[in-house]
Every structure is written in C-alpha cells, then in structure tokens.
Amino acid sequence: MSETMQDNNSLQQDIPVRNIALVVNSFDKGGLEQVVMNLYLGYRRKGWKAYILSQTRLVGSMAEKLLNLKDIYIFDGNEDDFFCFCRNHNIDVLHYHYNTFMLKEARERGFKILYTMHNAYTWMTLSEIRAYSARLASAHKVVPVSTFVEQYYLARTGAGCSNIQTIPNGVDFAELDGEYKGFSVSRENPGLSEQDIVICEIASFHPAKHQVGMIGVMERLQKDHPEIKLLLVGNEGDKSYYNYFMKTLANSPSRGNISVIPYFDHKYMGQFLRSVVDIFTLPTLYEGCSNAALEAAYCAKPMVLTNVGNADEMNDIASCEIVQTAYQNLTEVSPEELLDISLRKYSRNTEDLARAIVKIAADLDDYKVRAIKAVNQISQYDTDHMVRQYMDIVESIY
C-alpha cells in the first residue's frame, strides 16, 4: 500500500464522517467553480458526504463532472428548500463560497459554518464590505485563500483575526498529467512557428484580469520582438468586458501577435501548458489565489505576475518575475478607478510587464531549468493537502 493511501486511510479512521454542503451562487465554469469541485471531490475521497447547493439556476458544464448529479441542488433562493435539503441529507456543515445565504440563521440553527474568501473584494464600498464582514462574524471560520486577501480584508474592515485562517487553493496535479489525442490546440493551431516565444494568460475575461492591458504590452513589444506572441485562454466571463477587449484588439497594431483561444475543457490544461506555452503571465489588478499560476508552476513554466494574490508565494517556489501593480495601493483605489484602469491599454506597469517578458525571453533556457527544479516545491498546493486543512478546521469547531 502506498504512503498516500495509508495516510488517507488513517485520516478516514481518525475523522468521523461528516455531511457537508458547499454553498455557491452558481456552478457553471471558471476558477472558483474549479476550486469548489476540487473540494467536493476531495471531501468525497476522504469519505465525507459532500453536496453542492446553488442559489441560482446558472449551473453548467462543471456539474457534469460531479460523481452524481443528485449531489447538486438548486434552491432558487428559497429558505425552506435550502434547509429542507440539509435536513433530508443530514447536513450539519455548510461551506460557503462568496454566497452568504442564511449564513447567520444557519449558525443560529446549529450548523458549523466555513466561509472561503476567494478574492480581495474591491468591488465593495467601505460600508458594503464592513456590512459583509458583520455577516461573516457568524462563521466559525473565515478562510482567505492567500495572505494578500487576508491583509486586504483586515485593512478595509478592521475585523478581528480570531476566526480567520488562511488556506491556499489546491490543484489536482494528476489531472494536469493527462495527455489526450483529441486535443485540437497546438503550436500549429493557431499558426505559431518554432521560432515564436509564446506568452499565455489563462483567465476568464473580467476587468480584474486586465486582458486589455496586455494589448498595450504587446504593442510595446511588437517592433523589437515580433517573435513574441500572446495567447489568451478563458471564458467570455464578463461579456461587456470581453466585447470591449475584442473591439480594442481589432483596432490594435499588435492584433496579428495576439490570439484568443476558445474555451476548452480543463482536463486539457496540463497538455496545453506543456506543449504550447513558453511563458505564463497573469497581469491581474487583484487576485485571490490563482489556480492558473499554480498549474503553470506545476507544468514548469516561467511566469510574469503582478504583485497581487499569491504572487509572493509563487516568487518563493517558482521561476518567475514579479512586477508592480497598475495602481499605488489597492485599499485606496475605488471600484470606479479599477474599472477605468481595466479598460486602458497603458497603465503604470505596462513597461514593467514588457521588460519582464523580454528578460525571461532573452534567457528562456535558464528560466525553464529553474522552473523544472521548482516543480517539487509546490506539493503544498496539492488538492488533498487543501482538503485536509479544511477537514481539520471542521473537526476543531465540533
């Protein structure tokens, strides 16, 4: 029996079986949904009965990966349906993700409550985030996904630390190891040459991901470095932002060096990173704990990251360059200012991003060697490790 199997069996013997529901606003596709799916599968592997409760009917392709479609329930914002499902399935642990439906009331009814904070809530005004914090006070434990998120939350809300514990996201490394003959994306499609250096941003199109800013970066690079090509992979996400990006791209002199790759199933991600990408980038305005960055590190890709989310952690364990953000201080930037920045091709850090990409491209072999050596250092971001930490929290509040 392998050491991992022994550890899992020991854990299942030591920790009682719990019935837990992951509460979400929706469950279609994206980074948040992938984290929730990893938790659901992880809880199930450890012997717990895990379910997903969606407040809305926006449930899509991610649900098809559930072990049983009966494990997801759409309660349509109905309080009676919500608690009835919990009662019928003996659920006594609720693990919230963005959603706070009946959180305080569930605590009063005796549920054990976890709340995972997936991002810096920059879209909230000061009064809104403090009201939100007051609701989260009913949780047994609030779990930011990075120290960046924790520090932002504490700075804006003045909340205490007594019920806060940071746990980084976990990644399913085994899935990333897969190879599939039917995968259609390669260096030949979308028409890349052997001499091209391929930069890739993997993120749904949202203002926070600042894909528009990468158009400006590529305009800076195209004259002296025409061999550098950019691929953007992700869902349309915010359709108005996606449409603005596409319009801006169509009018850009760098449009020939930028390709948007249609959404593909996440199971192909490891194969895509290994066979197509030379350098991963995430020029985000704000971030929680990027799954994409963790996946790129596991696939031994050098990276260019802005100094948000889990960038500090990645700087310690991966082959990367960290650049300044597009603003001075996140806690002092309004939602309106962030939206304005997200629509600009050129920002405070455009030149820094361009220089970092050129720096890696000029010494790519050395950065790749460092990236390969760093792969072993990211075992702490394994899905099972993340799940064990959450299970330990649950047991500690019983």
* Residue 63 banded pLDDT, cuts 50, 70, 90: very high
pLDDT at position 134 is 96
User: What is the C-alpha separation between 356 and 281, in angstroms, rounded?
Assistant: 10
Tens digit of each residue's pLDDT (9 = 90 or more) over 86-141? 999 999 999 999 999 999 999 999 999 999 999 999 999 999 999 999 999 999 99
User: What is the C-alpha separation between 18 and 7, in angstroms, rounded?
Assistant: 18
Q: Which fold has domain 3-170+382-396?
A: Rossmann fold (3.40.50)
pLDDT surpassing 80 at residue 380? no
* Residue 13 banded pLDDT, cuts 50, 70, 90: low
pTM attached to this predicted model: 0.89
* Residue 2 banded pLDDT, cuts 50, 70, 90: very low
Domains 3-170+382-396 and 174-381 share a fold: yes
Range in 98-102, 174-178, 377-381 with the lowest mean pLDDT: 377-381
- What value does the mean pLDDT of the chain take? 94
pLDDT surpassing 80 at residue 56? yes
* Residue 5 banded pLDDT, cuts 50, 70, 90: very low
Tens digit of each residue's pLDDT (9 = 90 or more) over 67-90? 999 999 999 999 999 999 999 999
Tens digit of each residue's pLDDT (9 = 90 or more) over 331-360? 999 999 999 999 999 999 999 999 999 999
- For a pLDDT cut of 70, what percent of the chain falls above it? 96
User: What is the C-alpha separation between 192 and 363, in angstroms, rounded?
Assistant: 20
- The number of beta carbons lying within 10 Å of the beta carbon of residue 385 is 15
User: What is the C-alpha separation between 215 and 172, in angstroms, rounded?
Assistant: 31
Find the mean pLDDT for residues 224-251. 96
Residue 94 exposure: Cα atoms within 13 Å on the Cβ side: 30
pLDDT surpassing 50 at residue 3? no
Find the mean pLDDT for residues 295-305. 96
- The ranges assigned to domains in the chain are 3-170+382-396, 174-381
Find the mean pLDDT for residues 33-62. 95
pLDDT at position 14 is 64
Query: Which CATH number does the domain 174-381 belong to among 3.40.50.720, 3.40.50.2000, 3.90.1580.10, 4.10.93.10?
Result: 3.40.50.2000
**Residues β-bridged to residue 322:** 305
pLDDT at position 376 is 86
Helix (H) or strand (E) holding 73: strand 72-74
